[in-house]
Amino acid sequence: MMKFSLTDTDGDARRGQLIFPRGTIDTPAFMPVGTLGSVRAVAPDEVRQTGAQIILGNTFHLMLRPGTEVVSAHGTLHDFMGWPGPILTDSGGFQVWSLAQKRQISEQGVYFRSPVDGSSVFLGPEESMTVQKSLGSDVVMCFDECTSYPATRAQANASMQMSLRWAQRCAAVPLRAGQALFGIAQGGMYEDLRMESLTQLEKIGFAGYALGGLSVGEPKDDMLRILQAVGPTMPKDKPRYLMGVGKPEDLLAGVAAGIDMFDCVLPTRNARNGWLYTRRGIVRLKNAVNRSDTRPIEVDCPCAACARFSRAYLRHLYVTGELLGSRLCTLHNLVYFQRLMSDIRNAIARNQFATFARDFLTDFAGEGRDMA
């Protein structure tokens, strides 16, 4: 059974622990994404060595390939992929949203065309819960409709209300002993709808609460407005999860709003594209300035890439398409994000989070320019 406790607060920023039978997660935490039962390009033990304590898998994709019967034959998703720690599974709602041209939504659920073979597939609240129960994930997410942007107030309200009805149906499905079900607050860019969604979810009662439907194309100011308005009002004694948001500056904004858990594909996706995070911004390997640079990506980084290899070598691997390049770059970015979260937790414990965030943003050049 999941247990959650807070150890330190600094303004709205929180430090705590999520305890599962499979392991303890220090929060705020960043979850690497292993959509298909694998964090791309790296082995589970390597992911663990980066400092990650929990990873994310995806109901939608694993349901289609390899199928729950294959996973169940091994025991749980943990056994199938060789990851001994906790796993959170997304409900599949976001992936259904991304298939806007191939789906048909009704009160019962969603019919969609499989991106694998084009067959017709149905996924609803009960089906999502059944798949996640079979996968044996430690954190199960409610099946919801991810509200598109832009959406009128009426559209956002109708979507939010249906997600609430689906949440009620999810809560009625028995799960495995120890699985924790999280509700997802929707409501688009309308603060009052977000608050109503959260209030109604609390009445149903969940082990944790998430903010969904952000980072779906809305302006950054709108995302931050919703985050800052809703985050601090989420139940204080339950874990708070901001779904799919992961730029370093957004992680800091989320922590400042009281968020405990994050996930995003950016570290691994950007690694495969030769974008490497450092404390002073992003190094783009393909740029000619790195062609003969003998320095590591970041001098004090303990990752396998920085410990042994130069920017020039990593650029060589990237431009020639060598698979080792993707592995090393992925390990670097995963280590970077875990070190960032550790620094955030330490700053909260020292009651210096605001100072840490200010100094970080001063040094971090973001994605706008390359760092020498």
Q: What share of the chain is helix, strand, coil (3-state, %, to 5)?
A: 45, 20, 35
CATH 3.20.20.105 fits 3-264, yes or no: yes
> Can you tell me the distance from the alpha carbon of 361 to that of 281, in angstroms, rounded to the nearest whole number?
10
Q: Where are the domains of the chain?
A: 3-264, 270-355
Beta bridge partners of 90: 58
8 belongs to the catalytic site: no
> Can you tell me the distance from the alpha carbon of 213 to that of 96, in angstroms, rounded to the nearest whole number?
13
> Can you tell me the distance from the alpha carbon of 128 to that of 175, in angstroms, rounded to the nearest whole number?
11
Q: Where are the beta strands (DSSP E) in the chain?
A: 3-10, 13-20, 23-27, 29-31, 55-58, 87-90, 103-105, 110-113, 120-123, 139-141, 180-185, 208-211, 240-242, 261-263, 275-278, 281-284
Report pLDDT for 300.
96
Structure tokens at 138: 């430690």
pLDDT of residue 164 exceeding 90: yes
Tens digits of residue pLDDT in 112-143: 889 899 999 999 999 999 999 999 999 999 99
Q: Where are the beta strands (DSSP E) in 285-324?
A: none
pLDDT of residue 36 exceeding 70: yes
The candidate with the shortest Cα–Cα distance to 245, out of 274, 223, 273, 272, is: 223
> Can you tell me the distance from the alpha carbon of 372 to that of 367, in angstroms, rounded to the nearest whole number?
13
Catalytic residue among 138, 144, 263, 293: 263
The candidate with the shortest Cα–Cα distance to 160, out of 121, 211, 216, 234, is: 211
Report pLDDT for 370.
55
Which of the four pLDDT bands, split at 50, 70 and 90, describes residue 103? confident
pLDDT of residue 340 exceeding 70: yes
Tens digits of residue pLDDT in 204-218: 999 999 999 999 999
Q: What is the mean pLDDT of residues 326-345?
A: 98
> Can you tell me the distance from the alpha carbon of 200 to that of 168, in angstroms, rounded to the nearest whole number?
10
Which of the four pLDDT bands, split at 50, 70 and 90, describes residue 99? confident
Question: What distances in angstroms separate CA 211 from CA 17, 55, 73, 350, one per listed residue?
Answer: 19, 18, 33, 27
Report pLDDT for 98.
83
Name the least confident of 42-46, 54-58, 102-106: 102-106
Residue 290, amino acid: N
More confident residue, 367 or 250: 250
Report pLDDT for 368.
46
Tens digits of residue pLDDT in 235-292: 999 999 999 999 999 999 999 999 999 999 999 999 999 999 999 999 999 999 999 9
Catalytic residue among 90, 138, 250, 260: 90
- The strand pair at 103-105 and 110-113 is best described as antiparallel
Whether the pTM exceeds 0.85: the reply is yes
Report pLDDT for 371.
55
Are 298 and 279 in contact by the 8 Å Cβ rule? The answer is yes
Are 38 and 45 in contact by the 8 Å Cβ rule? The answer is no
Which of the four pLDDT bands, split at 50, 70 and 90, describes residue 93? confident
pLDDT of residue 366 exceeding 80: no
Structure tokens at 115: 């991106």
pLDDT of residue 224 exceeding 50: yes
pLDDT of residue 372 exceeding 60: no
Structure tokens at 186: 């929707």
Residue 47, amino acid: V
Length of the chain: 372
Half-sphere exposure of 279 (CA within 13 A, CB side): 14
Classify residue 143 by its DSSP letter.
P
User: Over pLDDT 70: what percentage of the chain?
Assistant: 98
The candidate with the shortest Cα–Cα distance to 158, out of 150, 147, 149, 167, is: 147
The candidate with the shortest Cα–Cα distance to 16, out of 254, 334, 231, 261, is: 261
Average pLDDT of every residue of the chain: 96
90 belongs to the catalytic site: yes
Report pLDDT for 78.
98
Q: What is the mean pLDDT of residues 195-203?
A: 98
Are 347 and 10 in contact by the 8 Å Cβ rule? The answer is yes
